[in-house]
């Protein structure tokens, strides 16, 4: 298998893992009624899963597992532009397959009801204005991408990228998991929304557009603060 195909497969597996684990925890927390602190467990699930994945597949593909990461990485030159489309397709497919398998497994639990328990889809349960929902996603993703670029710059402290990147996703979910958002990842949102449908599909565009623009903004912030002429994070 050539380098590009290995990278695409790694992105598929990585996105599958993040979406499968993260949304499984989110769904089970709600279904089994573990109380108001469930958002803390959800934050741990997403943050620590990403931290592990950075260590596991980072050396293969850079561990983007997120179109909002891949697009600014390609714009910055850290990822070959010709590979960006393959990365995004792999990520979206990984998320969809993860949601399909999770739904199949959850249907084996008698008390599970898709209409009631959902599938960990992002939404707007607190009925915020669309602008507010959009800005939460935009700002959190911008800070997330700034963290990723800074943690993987050529002169960064070796060995700490996984801690910084997974740690920030954990922190972002401490805010967003309580609000129903904090996707920061279009693929993560697309997967479950396709099966939950309804309101999840109605606001899906927010969780696609806002993270992409937020990711680009995060790269711009990084460029303003750092002198980066290296190619750390390239998928070659």
Check if the beta carbon of residue 87 is closer than 8 Å to that of residue 73. no
Q: What are the residue boundaries of the structural domains of the chain, listed by start?
A: 3-225
99 contacts: CB under 8 Å, gap ≥ 6 = 19, 20, 23, 119, 191, 192, 194, 195
Which of 134, 123, 125, 95 lies closest to 200, judged by CA?
Answer: 123
Query: What's the CATH code, domain 3-225?
Result: 1.20.1080.10
Query: What is the end-to-end Cα distance of the chain in Å, rounded?
Result: 14
SS3 152: coil
Vertex 38 angle, CA 203 and 136, to 5°: 35
The model's pTM is: 0.92
Please list the pLDDT of the chain residue by residue as tens digits (236 residues). 788 999 999 999 999 999 999 999 999 988 887 666 778 889 999 999 999 999 999 999 999 999 999 999 999 999 999 999 999 999 999 999 999 999 999 999 999 999 988 899 998 888 899 999 999 999 999 999 999 999 999 888 878 999 999 999 999 999 988 786 679 999 999 999 999 999 999 999 999 999 999 999 999 999 999 876 544 334 33
């Amino acid at each position: 298998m050539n380098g590009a195909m290995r990278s695409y497969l790694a992105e598929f597996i990585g996105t599958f893992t993040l979406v499968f684990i993260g949304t499984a925890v989110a769904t089970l927390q709600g279904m089994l009624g573990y109380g108001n602190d469930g958002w803390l467990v959800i934050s741990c699930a997403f943050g620590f899963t990403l931290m592990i994945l950075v260590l596991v597949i980072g050396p293969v593909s850079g561990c983007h597992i997120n179109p909002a990461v891949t697009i600014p990485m390609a714009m910055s030159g850290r990822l070959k532009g010709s590979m960006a489309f393959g990365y995004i397709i792999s990520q979206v497919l990984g998320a969809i397959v993860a949601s399909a398998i999770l739904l199949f497994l959850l249907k084996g639990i008698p008390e599970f009801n898709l209409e009631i328990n959902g599938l960990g889809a992002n939404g707007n349960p607190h009925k915020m204005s669309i602008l507010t929902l959009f800005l939460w996603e935009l700002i959190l993703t911008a800070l997330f991408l700034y963290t990723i670029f800074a943690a993987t710059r050529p002169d960064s402290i070796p060995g700490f990228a996984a801690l910084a990147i997974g740690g920030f996703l954990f922190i972002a979910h401490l805010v967003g998991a309580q609000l129903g958002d904090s996707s920061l990842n279009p693929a993560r949102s697309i997967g479950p929304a396709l099966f939950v449908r309804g309101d999840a599909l109605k606001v899906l565009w927010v969780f696609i557009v806002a993270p992409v623009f937020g990711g680009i903004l995060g790269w711009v912030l990084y460029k303003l603060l750092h002198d980066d002429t290296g190619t750390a994070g390239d998928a070659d």
